[in-house]
A and B are shown apart, each in its own frame.
Chain A
Amino acid sequence: MNLTLKVWRQANADAKGNLETYQIKEVSPDMSFLEMMDVLNEELIEKGIDPVAFDHDCREGICGMCSMFINGEAHGPDRLVTTCQLHMRKFKDGDTITIEPFRAKAFPVIKDLTVDRSSFDRIQQAGGFVSVNTSGNTQDANAIPIEKHNADKAFDAAACIGCGACVATCKNASAMLFVSAKVSQYALLPQGRVEATDRVLNMVNQMDEEGFGNCTNTGACEVECPKGISLENIARMNREYLYASLKG
């Protein structure tokens, strides 16, 4: 396949940035999107042009590091995949592909297609954990019976890889899907219930302070999430938050 790529180039956080057009030839339909980007970068290096910076790590769809807004969609046109799991067979010979970084005030661009998602880390640090005394007397987790429905839902919520596609996709750049997955993952388990009140208050507070937008229930996040995190989690977080606010 021969493709035209329009890639966002931005030298650093403060630079203005613009879309650069590159032609790329003989792309195999079996390549992953990131492999195609690797080929592009090799060609750029040979021509003495600065290669395109983009995030990636596992290339197995589990770390959440790869990002990219491809043809107007987070992680491109395919569903339930990250960019590293997106294949070039989803495109046609002669296509023009526009590639931009994930955009949100809370995800500032570092360079080209790489963005700083540490706002997610700060939300997680505000309450996305269970405080455990690890001095040797911890209880065996399997000794606590957990209702199967809740265990399944907690597991589904825990599948969130923190990629930020939900934010990138949302017309309001809202982080509700991510935060609700993290809140739900703990709220549904007895180990997490103990700190549930403070957790939801602190995590939502941090989310608001980071400058993410407000949810308007468009549901775009759920469609674009590579892990199929459900809007049910947002409803659960709304309940948890309301209850915690009235209590605290």
Chain B
Amino acid sequence: MTLIASSIGRKLAMALSGLFLVVFLTQHFFINLTSVFSESLFNEISHFMGNNPLVQMILQPILILGVLFHFTMGFVLELQNAKSRVVKYKSYKGSANAPWVSRNMILSGIVILSFLGLHLYDFWFPEMNYKYIESLPLDPDRYFGELVHKFESQVRVILYVLSFVFLALHLYHGFASSFQTMGLNNKYSKAIKSFTVAFSFLIPAGFIAIALFHHITTF
């Protein structure tokens, strides 16, 4: 059996793609953060990310593949798992021995996936359309305005906040779990769990705070 066909290999692929997304999420957060402090810096970085050939032609496709791989594999494993217990228990006390977040990764994942759909519709599709389909003139100062405009809608902000709560739940289990999957369970595991708790709270809370900041300051 090849590594990627085995249960352990697939789990490992899940962990690696998950960690890759964590890295992406972190850099995305710091770029968003600049929008609170400096309109011009945010525009400058966004313009760079949007037009640098290395980012656009290499990193962006890797990211897309990473996301596709992660959730596709997530669904594949979930379906397999559903088949491993054909007759279900009448009485099953899942909460007695495992935290809710760890038992509902597919649920938090689906919420993130739906958010991703909205997010692409809001930012990425218009961006691709602007740059590559209509080939409109470069305008290095448009990004901040586009960002603020999206956060005017109350419905969007509510959806945004909800999604990041689920992302926090996903990370709360997933981040530390990926180290166990990669074979790391030793005296450092406690520190990894503490870091996971802090990270899974701070980063999503930060995204939410930035959204609220723009929502409130535009009125």
Q: How far is the CA of A231 from the CA of B88 in the complex (A)?
A: 25
Q: How far apart are the CA atoms of A174 and B83 in the complex, in Å?
A: 11
Asked whether any CB of chain A lies closer than 8 Å to the CB of B94, the reply is yes
- The closest CB in chain A to the CB of B3 belongs to A245
When C-beta atoms are compared, the residue in chain B nearest to A69 turns out to be B89
**A172 close to B183 (CB less than 8 A):** no
In the complex, residue of chain B having the shortest beta-carbon distance to the beta carbon of A8? B90
- When distances are taken between beta carbons in the complex, the residues of chain B under 8 Å from A245 are 2-3, 6, 9
Report the minimum CB–CB distance from A61 to chain B (whole Å): 19
Stretch at the interface among A29-37, A139-147, A206-214: A206-214
List residues of chain B with CB within 8 A of the CB of A237.
Answer: 8
A 190-222 binary contact with B (CB < 8 Å = 1; else 0):
000000000001001101100111111111100
The answer to whether A238 touches B98, judged by C-beta atoms less than 8 angstroms apart, is no
Cross-interface CB contact of A214 among B11, B85, B96, cutoff 8 Å: B11
- A110 on interface, CB distance cutoff 8 Å: no
Query: Which of A101-109, A129-137, A154-162 lies on the face that meets chain B?
Result: A101-109
Least CB distance from A179 to B in Å reads: 10
A174 lies within 8 A of B180 (CB)? no
Decide if B97 touches A103 in the complex (CB within 8 Å).
no
Q: Point out the residues of chain B lying under 8 angstroms from A94, CB to CB.
A: none
Determine if A56 is an interface residue (Cβ-Cβ < 8 Å): no
Chain A residues within an 8 Å CB radius of B85: 103-105, 172-173, 213
How many chain B residues sit at the interface, stated as a range, is 35 or more
**Given known A-B contacts A172-B81, A245-B3, A235 and B185 have beta carbons under 8 A apart:** yes
CB neighbours (8 Å) of A242 from chain B are 3, 8-9, 12, 183
CB distance from A99 to the nearest CB of B (A): 9
| Alpha-carbon separation in the docked complex, A39 to B180 (Å) | 45
Residues on the A chain within 8 Å of B209, using CB: none
Tell whether B91 is near chain A: CB-to-CB under 8 Å: yes
User: Counting CB contacts under 8 A, is B10 at the interface?
Assistant: yes
State the interface size on chain A (CB cutoff 8 A): 50
Q: What residues of chain A lie closer than 8 Å to B9, measured between beta carbons?
A: 241-242, 245
Q: Is A234 an interface residue (CB 8 A)?
A: yes
Smallest distance from the beta carbon of B191 to chain A beta carbons, Å?
15
CB distance from B193 to the nearest CB of A (A): 12
Chain B nearest Cβ from A22, distance in angstroms? 15
Chain A nearest Cβ from B197, distance in angstroms: 16
Chain B residues within an 8 Å CB radius of A231: 180, 185
Query: Contact between A100 and B90 (Cβ–Cβ < 8 Å)?
Result: yes
Rank and list the top 3 A-B pairs by shortest CB-CB distance, nearest first: A72-B93, A239-B183, A235-B185
Known: A214-B81, A219-B102, A241-B8. A208 touches B180 (CB 8 A): no
Collect the chain A residues with CB atoms within 8 Å of residue B83's CB: 105, 211, 213
Interface positions, chain A 54-107, Cβ under 8 Å from B, are 69, 71-73, 77, 98, 100, 103-106
B93 surroundings in chain A (CB, below 8 A): 71-73
Tell me which residues across on chain B come within 8 A of A173, comparing CB atoms: 81, 84-85
Interface centre among B7, B80, B182, B186 (most CB of A within 10 A): B7
Per-residue CB contact flags for chain B residues 1-22 toward chain A (1 = under 8 Å, else 0) read 1110011111110000000000
| 20 pairs, CB–CB < 8 Å, chain A vs chain B | A17-B87, A19-B90, A69-B89, A72-B94, A100-B90, A100-B91, A105-B85, A172-B81, A173-B85, A204-B7, A208-B1, A212-B7, A213-B80, A232-B185, A235-B184, A235-B185, A236-B185, A237-B8, A241-B6, A242-B12
User: Within the complex, what minimum Cβ distance (angstroms) separates B96 from chain A?
Assistant: 5
